[in-house]
Chains A and B, each alone.
Chain A
Amino acid sequence: MEILFFYLVAFVTLVSGLLVIRCQSPVNSALALVNTFFCLAVFYVMLHAPFMAAIQIMVYAGAIMVLILFVIMLLNLGTESRQRYTRGVVWSSIASLLMLIVATVTIKTGQVTGAEGEITAHTVKSVGHTELIGRTMFTEFLLPFEIASILLLVAIVGAVVLAKKEV
């Protein structure tokens, strides 16, 4: 049951991923991208990471997509610009194929390693994935968490400096 569901979602993900790059209209591509994001969120749920799924939908399918759509509207790209960027299909196919081979070989030959952590599927089940992330974020990774706020602040200031209309 689970494996069937996985293949179904995987198939939809791949198809919508292909649509992203093959669609004529940029808006259609963007919609296909939303679909891809939702499928990825489903994968996160299947991996028992509901928080990641929520982030995927809130940030990617929500905010990032808004940004992408705004860019499309801002630049107002027609279909005529498409020709310029679809050269080199052969080369990119070869590169992707090589990448696929490298990834496959790496996964096949690299043994599954990793230090056995204390957080197992059991703990995730009993405490809750989101709460575990919260705890780790505020203990082990407290400093990176606080630096993230500075990063957001710099981004806010930077956006204002670069894009705000002159007063």
Chain B
Amino acid sequence: MDNNLVQIALQNVNMWAIMPSLILICFGMGLLLINVFLPRGTTKHAVWISLIGLVVTGLFVFKGWGDPQYGFNDAVALDNFAAFFNITFLVAAGLTILMSDEYLRREGYPVSEYYPLVLFTTAGAMWMASGTDMMTIFLGLEVMSVGLYVLAGFFRNQVRSNEAGLKYFLLGAFSTGFLLYGIALIYGVTGSTRLTEIGIYLNAHTSLLGNPMTLAGLVLIAIGFLFKIAVVPFHMWTPDVYEGAPTPITAFMSAGPKAAAFASFLRIMEYCFFSLKPEWTAMLWVLAVLTMVVGNVIAITQTNIKRMLAYSSIAHAGYALVGMVAANEIGYSGILFYMLAYAFMNIGAFAVLVLAGKKGEDNLTLEGFSGFGYKRPFLGVAMTIFLFSLMGLPPTAGFAGKFYIFAGAVKAGYLWLAVIGVLNSAVSLYYYLRVMVYMYFRDPLEDYAWVSMPVSVVVSIVIAIAGSLYLGIVPGFVMELAKLAVF
């Protein structure tokens, strides 16, 4: 044993690189501590504190735009890419929290731990987006997933919610195993977990590219993320989990965590495996087509709106994958744009669903929406806008997002992929329009007197409408930002 005590310490810690997630963590922990001293059932303060936390974090992310920070010996990077995704997560979390309080109260489960869990989940998503080390990404994924497992099973007295939590947990843990195996294999091949070092090493040793260990590692890592994104054939959990989870959590899951998985998937593929680009784009081509087709076709047969939206979210993951297959600037920035747009439009649609339900029954059948548009004009119009956006019709965010992604595919020479994508959008018109047919062209079965309009949920719907329309009418500015954000 040598006794010359050489102090070793990490040289460049640079707390600024993790500041957004650190702020969220501090708010989350503070909230946990405040909660225990207040009587159970008080949640208003939690809503406010977590919203303030999200806004402060958002301001911080905005302030740091264009000034990339690298910290912890390159384990984390707060670059534009991470910042853009962070905004998406914050939007998703903010809209979710706004609509949650009302919903939790109605279901008789006002538990204040809900809000810290959402904050921690968001912080985990941020680590995924800003991680430049496999371990950072992995632990971020775990923080996010564990939070989501709990949130999905949050209504522990409801069997559906239990089923959702358990199913998500078991399959999620399984897929995390795949991811870890992949990371281990890649570490074995390259001797590093830093994304850039892996990429440089693989690029310098081209003989390794055909090595079964490298390829197995690549595929296993991809499976881990494709599960979280819910790409066919790793989508089986989605409908059940989305249906059973509390509606605001379903909304959050479909936007925030999905974007986070896309973020780290993009970063890993682009940083580590750029030398294998032809291989993985070919793989993703097939998966993108499968995902779009399966998602859209099965969505047609659904009569439960939450399940229908679950399948449609699978289809939307397929559209976003098209951008990854394109693997060029427009394609990648299209994904960033699309994820933000999707956060607005999908969470907005779920917010309407939250208001349309009664205690204990979510009122999600198509029949239940007969004449809803007449009786509740504001909600009807809002739902129409969100559905238009999900269909991808101008002048909404969905149109602009799809436009950029398919433009990227065409530019990269994947004309057929773009054609398949557009055809799929046409298919999706059927099941989205059907909701509107029920809302406007059927005689109302009920007067929807139970539908209240609490301020917080209305605010979230208004924000979602504003976002969907802004991104649809003037997409240029945000798209420029997205272009600055990609590699």
Tell me the complex Cα distance, A157–B127, Å.
20
Check if B191 sits within 8 Å of A116, measured CB to CB.
Answer: yes
Contact A160:B139 (CB < 8 A) given known A105-B212, A126-B2, A150-B25 = no
Whether A106 pairs with B216 at a CB distance below 8 angstroms is yes
Q: Is B136 an interface residue (CB 8 A)?
A: yes
Instruction: Tell me the A108-167 residues at the B interface (CB within 8 Å).
Output: 109-111, 113-117, 126-128, 135, 138-144, 147-148, 150-151, 153-155, 157-158, 160-162, 167
- Of chain B, the residue at the smallest CB distance from A138 is B10
Sorting the interface of chain A by its residue count into under 10, 10 to 19, 20 to 34 or 35 or more gives 20 to 34
Which of B58-66, B113-121, B295-303, B453-461 is found at the contact surface with chain A?
B113-121
B253 to chain A, nearest CB (A): 15
B213 contacts across to A, CB distance below 8 A: 106, 110, 113
CB distance from A140 to the nearest CB of B (A): 6
Complex Cα distance, B154 from A142, in Å, reads 32
Q: How far is the CA of A114 from the CA of B186 in the complex (A)?
A: 9
- If A144-B139, A147-B140 touch, does A113 touch B189 (CB 8 Å cutoff)? yes
* A115/B146 in contact, CB under 8 A: no
Q: Does more than half of chain B's interface fall in helix, strand or loop, or is it mixed?
A: helix
Q: Are B10 and A111 in contact (CB under 8 A)?
A: no
CB closest chain-B residue, reference A115: B191
Flag whether B76 is at the interface (Cβ < 8 A). yes
| B40 CB contacts on chain A under 8 angstroms | 167
Q: CA separation between A151 and B190, bound complex, in Å? A: 27
How would you classify the secondary structure of chain A's contact residues: helix, strand, loop or mixed?
helix
* B150 pairs with A142, CB closer than 8 A: no
Among B1, B143, B212, contact of A151 (Cβ-Cβ < 8 Å): B143
Are A151 and B139 interface neighbours, CB within 8 A? Answer: yes
User: Would you list which residues of chain B between 8 and 41 have a CB under 8 Å from chain A?
Assistant: 8-10, 13, 18, 25, 29, 32, 40
Count A-B pairs with CB separation below 8 Å. Answer: 113
CB contacts (< 8 Å) of A142 on chain B: these are 10, 13, 72-73, 75
> In the bound complex, do residue B190 and residue A143 qualify as a contact, i.e. CB atoms below 8 Å apart?
no
Interchain nearest-CB distance for A143 vs B (Å): 4
Contact partner of A109 among B8, B25, B142, B212, CB < 8 A?
A: B212
Q: Least Cβ distance of B18 to chain A in Å?
A: 7
Q: How far is the CA of A78 from the CA of B13 in the complex (A)?
A: 54
Q: What residues of chain A lie closer than 8 Å to B138, measured between beta carbons?
A: 144
Q: Say yes or no for B42: interface residue by CB 8 A criterion.
A: no
Instruction: Evaluate contact between B150 and A161: CB separation under 8 angstroms.
Output: yes
- Which residues in A have their C-beta under 8 angstroms from that of B114? 161
Contacts of A116 in B (CB 8 A): 191
Given A154-B120, A158-B147, residue A144 in contact with residue B75 (CB < 8 A): yes
**Hey, which chain A residues are within 8 Å of B113, CB to CB?**
157, 160-161
Chain B residues, Cβ within 8 Å of A161? 111, 113-114, 117, 150, 154, 156
Contact present for B208 and A113 (CB under 8 Å) = yes
User: Does B304 belong to the interface (CB within 8 Å)?
Assistant: no
* Nearest CB in chain B to that of A136: its residue: B8
> Which of B's residues lie within 8 Å of A, judged by CB?
1-2, 8-10, 13, 18, 25, 29, 32, 40, 71-73, 75-76, 111, 113-114, 116-117, 120-121, 123-124, 127, 133, 135-136, 138-140, 142-143, 146-147, 149-150, 153-154, 156, 165, 188-192, 201, 205, 208, 211-213, 216
Pairs of residues from A and B, 9 with the lowest C-beta to C-beta distance, nearest first: A115-B191, A158-B150, A144-B135, A147-B139, A143-B72, A110-B213, A106-B212, A143-B75, A110-B212
Please list the residues of chain A having a beta carbon within 8 angstroms of any beta carbon in chain B: 105-106, 109-111, 113-117, 126-128, 135, 138-144, 147-148, 150-151, 153-155, 157-158, 160-162, 167
17 other A-B residue contacts (CB within 8 Å) besides A105-B212, A154-B147: A110-B212, A114-B191, A135-B8, A141-B135, A143-B136, A144-B75, A144-B135, A147-B143, A150-B123, A150-B143, A153-B29, A153-B120, A157-B32, A157-B117, A157-B120, A158-B149, A158-B150
Q: What are 15 of the A-B contact pairs (CB < 8 Å)?
A: A105-B212, A111-B211, A113-B188, A113-B189, A115-B192, A126-B2, A139-B9, A140-B75, A142-B13, A142-B72, A143-B72, A143-B75, A151-B139, A158-B150, A162-B150
